[in-house]
Amino acid sequence: MSRLYDFHGGIHPPQHKDAATGSPIQALPLPPLLHIALAQSVGNAARPTVAVGQRVRKGETLAEPDGRLSAAVHAPTSGTITAIGPHPFAHPSGLPVDTVTLQPDGLDEWQPRQPLDWQQADGNTLRQQLQAMGVVGLGGAVFPTHLKLAAGQLATLVVNGAECEPFISCDDLLMRERAAGIVDGIRIAAHALQAGEVLIGIEDNKPQAIAAMQAACAGTAYRVVSIPTKYPSGGAKQLIRILTGIEVPHGTRATDLGVQCLNVGTLYAIARAVLHGEPLLSRIVTVTGAVARAANYEVAIGTPLGWLLQQAGVSDTRTDVIMGGPMMGITLPDLAAGLPKAGNCLIAKSTALFPPRPPEQACIRCGDCASACPAELQPMDLFWFAKSRQLGKAQERHLFDCIECGACSYVCPSQIPLVDYYRFAKSEIWAAERDKKSATLARQRHEFRQFRIERDKSEKAARIAARAAEQAAKLATQAASPVPTSAAPAATGMDDAKKAAIAAALARAAAQKEAKPLSEQHTSGLDDAKQAAIQAAMARAAARKAAAEAAKAGDAANPDSTPTTTPTQTGMDDAKRAAIEAAMARAAARKAAADAAKAGDAANPDSATTATPAQTGMDDAKRAAIEAAMARAAARKAAAQTAQADNTAAANPDSAATATASQTGIDDTKKAAIEAAMARAAARKAAAAEAKKDAAP
């Protein structure tokens, strides 16, 4: 027989277990709807993997874990997903959480199950199987089981079958009826943890459970130990102390001392997940208190709690209901919530079982709370610090070592709800830590943003500087490149020609601005003269273009032919000057004719016959302009031929005499064109004077 140890404090409240242990575990039909909350562990809520309207089979994954501390959620039966969203949750706050609502189809159709050969699998594969099956601690803490099996080379595996809290008897019935399944789970856990010994602690008020477990463990090295009934012997630290004598100090894990503790319900779920490939879809729930059929029921996860109480025959649907035990449980704000994996007991309250608590009075510092505290704390000091919000001092007094068992509140003569104050202080500290983390994260994000802005500015400045340097280098390269010498004369000639054309255009514009509107009889003559002038200008432009192309071709054929182009270029400049002078003379003649016509019309409005000599004069002038244009075109053609001959002479020096003759012809033609233009100007002037004389009275 193993030696037993004791822990400090503890109480002996009434048990109230007999009402639910008189019958075996009861099966229930499926409810109309199942509300499976996604938050089924101490970690993050699982992420949904199904959609509204989708049909699922029993055991199919509804949501996958979100992190190490998260647990998967599965369909307790086959049916259709009708909603995914906020729904009331079994929590004191009453706040809704994301929930998958499943409408059963009554077929209870399983998806294919995949058992695991745990004896051949390594520890990592086993832990992945348990996480995928959604197995968590069923003693109330819902800590992910795959993490509890991560430790190795442990001296002792402690199996918790104490179930010390009043009213709760689900573990008792599980050990009575399904001891073999629990032992299968013990084998798997002991293999994963490589435990040296296995100790199964059961309170001595459960003789049938002790006998069943002893029979199931026959032929193994597992030892079933009967321990004294005392609350809270079912706490992990307290049970480890009773069975091994090891005290787990503050801030230390039991695994650091070579011990791990698992609940019998958790071990049974491990066996179903590994040996049968079944996720955690249901659990045993004690339904007791003010109900007609108090018993332990096997209930699907997500079953509405109000519907479950109706199946047990609750006497008053408006009564308060406790989930858990009377010492550590919570009062449910909304019975529409679905059953969570942590829901081990439902107690319908009545005044007979739970008389109204007397009003709170002042603390008399009797010390009874300190005597009853199993964690060996000073509850009265924690109470004062929590009430005065001196949270730092409360932490110094090991506030977080409190397991919230309620023993101090149970023995307090002043009826102070001490655990409520401790929960408030813990929540305030957690909130302050969250705010601090949020502030730290915000500061880090701000600092990184400032760093990013400065980095972007620096990179932008570097890019601009690089582009500026590249542009400067390009300009320097262009400036250093030599300009071909053969292009200089041509460019000079083009600039002179452009200047001459601009000067001629300005002269024509000034003449047109000074001219008055002509009478109707002069319109036709002026239009003809304008067309002749335009055609002459176009002919000159064509001649200049031909001469430029000929010069360019000559330069390409003989780059050293710069001296040979000088006579041609000079001739072109003289011709251009003569053309400009001729255009200016024509403009002056047109102006004079317009002035004369205007004076004649003003002196004799009826002198229509005077239009005939003027019109005849305009025809002669037009004819002379056309002849002059033809002469200029011939001169330009001859100039182009001369340029071509000069290029040929550069290639063949014997042709110099021919080029000289051509040049002489060009000069004679130019002189003739100038004389013709002057004659036309004189004729127009004489015609204008005669018209003016005829118009005089």
Q: How far apart are CA 659 and CA 647, in angstroms?
A: 10
Spell 418-457 as b/e; 16+ CB within 10 A means b: bbebbeebbeebeeeeeeeeeeeeeeeeeeeeeeeeeeee
CA neighbor of 533 nearest in space, from 620, 611, 458, 629? 629
The residue among 206 and 3 whose pLDDT is bigger is 206
Average pLDDT over every residue of 504-529:
56
> How big is the chain by its Cα radius of gyration, in Å?
57
Q: Is the model's pLDDT at 611 over the cut of 50? A: no
Other beta carbons within 10 angstroms of residue 396's beta carbon come to 11
Provide the token pair at 428. Answer: 């305030």
User: With contact defined as beta carbons under 8 Å apart, do 202 and 224 qualify?
Assistant: yes
Structure tokens at 284: 């045993």
- Tokens 């503890």 belong to 10
Pull the structure tokens for residue 693. 């004389």
- β-strands 295-300, 282-289: how paired? antiparallel
User: Which DSSP state fits 332?
Assistant: -
pLDDT at 455: 94
Whether residue 41 contacts residue 81, with contact meaning beta carbons closer than 8 Å, is answered with no
Report whether 674 contacts 576 (CB < 8 A): no
Which residue is listed with tokens 């009478």?
519
pTM score, two decimals?
A: 0.66
Strands 295-300, 321-323: parallel, antiparallel or unpaired by DSSP? unpaired
Q: Do residues 249 and 243 lie in contact, with contact meaning Cβ atoms separated by under 8 Å?
A: no
Q: At what angle do helices 565-603 and 487-514 cross, to 10 degrees?
A: 0
Sort 163 into a burial class: Cβ within 10 Å, 0-12 / 13-18 / 19+. Answer: buried
Between the alpha carbon of residue 438 and those of residues 42, 391, 394, 445, 451, the distances in Å are: 20, 20, 23, 10, 20
What dihedral do alpha carbons 174, 176, 178, 182 form, nearest 10°? Answer: 80
Q: Does residue 436 sit in helix, strand or coil?
A: helix
**What does the buried/exposed string (b/e) look like for 88-113 if buried means 16 or more CB atoms within 10 Å of the residue's CB?**
bbbbeeeebbbbbbbbbeeeeeebee
Largest CA distance in the chain: 162
Q: What is the mean pLDDT of residues 604-616?
A: 42
Residue 625 has pLDDT above 70, yes or no: no
Q: What is the pLDDT of residue 627?
A: 63
For residues 632 and 666, the answer to whether their CB atoms sit within 8 Å is no
- Contact by Cβ (8 Å): 33, 103: yes
Amino acid 602: pLDDT: 47
> Which pLDDT value is given to residue 655?
41
CA pair distance 237, 231, nearest whole angstrom? 13
What stretch of H or E contains 37? strand 34-37
Q: Output the pLDDT for position 682.
A: 72
Least trusted range by pLDDT, from 93-97, 411-415, 444-448, 659-663: 659-663
pLDDT at 476: 86
Answer for the pair 297, 173: CB distance below 8 angstroms, yes or no. Answer: no
The H or E element that residue 323 is part of is: strand 321-323
Q: Quick check: 394 pLDDT over 80? A: yes
Please determine, for residue 457, whether its predicted confidence score (pLDDT) is greater than 70.
yes
- How many helices and strands (H and E) does the chain possess? 19, 17
Q: CA–CA separation, 307 vs 312, rounded Å? A: 9
264-293 pLDDT, tens per residue? 999 999 999 999 999 999 999 999 999 999
pLDDT in the model for residue 615: 45
Which pair of tokens denotes residue 103?
């409408």
Determine the distance from the C-alpha atom of residue 87 to the mean position of all C-alpha atoms in its chain, rounded to a whole number: 28
Residue type, 323: M
pLDDT value at position 502? 76
Q: For residues 353 and 316, is the Cβ–Cβ distance under 8 A?
A: no
pLDDT (mean) for 653-664 = 42
Q: Is 203 helix (H, G, I), strand (E, B) or coil?
A: strand
The pLDDT of residue 540: 72
Instruction: Please give the average per-residue pLDDT across 475-483, as a whole number.
Output: 77
Q: What pLDDT sits at residue 525?
A: 44
Average pLDDT, the chain: 82
Predicted local confidence at residue 610, as pLDDT: 40
3-state secondary structure at position 297: strand
Cα gap 38→267, rounded to integer Å: 23
pLDDT of residue 384: 95
**Range 628-655 average pLDDT:** 58
What are the Cα distances from residue 42, in Å, to 64, 67, 661? 15, 11, 114
**Mean pLDDT within 516-528:** 47
Omega before 232 cis (within 30°)? yes
Place of tokens 């909304």: 334
Mean pLDDT score, 150-156: 88
Task: Name, in order, each residue with C-beta under 8 angstroms of 24's C-beta and a sequence gap of 6 or more.
Answer: 173, 177, 296
Matching residue, tokens 């996604």: 38
Task: Determine phi and psi for 673, rounding to 5 degrees.
Answer: -65, -40
Q: Which of 108, 34, 83, 608 is nearest to 300 (CA)?
A: 34
Asked if 494 and 572 touch (Cβ cutoff 8 Å), the reply is no
Q: How far apart are CA 91 and CA 333, in angstroms?
A: 8
| Percent helix, strand and coil across the chain, each to the nearest 5 | 55, 15, 35
Question: What pLDDT does 233 receive?
Answer: 94
Task: Please answer whether residues 600 and 691 qualify as being in contact, where contact means their C-beta atoms are separated by less than 8 angstroms.
Answer: yes
pLDDT at 647: 52
Span between the terminal Cα atoms of the chain, in Å: 162
Could you give the C-alpha distances from 424 to 219, 304, 417, in angstroms and in order?
49, 29, 11
| 44-95 residue pLDDT tens | 999 999 999 999 999 999 999 999 999 999 999 999 999 999 999 999 888 9
Looking at the chain, the whole-number percentage of residues with pLDDT higher than 90 is 62
pLDDT higher than threshold 70 for residue 131: yes
Q: What is the pLDDT of residue 685?
A: 77
DSSP letters for 378-411 = -HHHHHHHHHTT-HHHHHHTTGGG-----HHHHH
Comparing 1-5, 103-107, 439-443, 686-690, the range with the smallest average pLDDT is: 686-690
Who wins on pLDDT, 361 or 584?
361
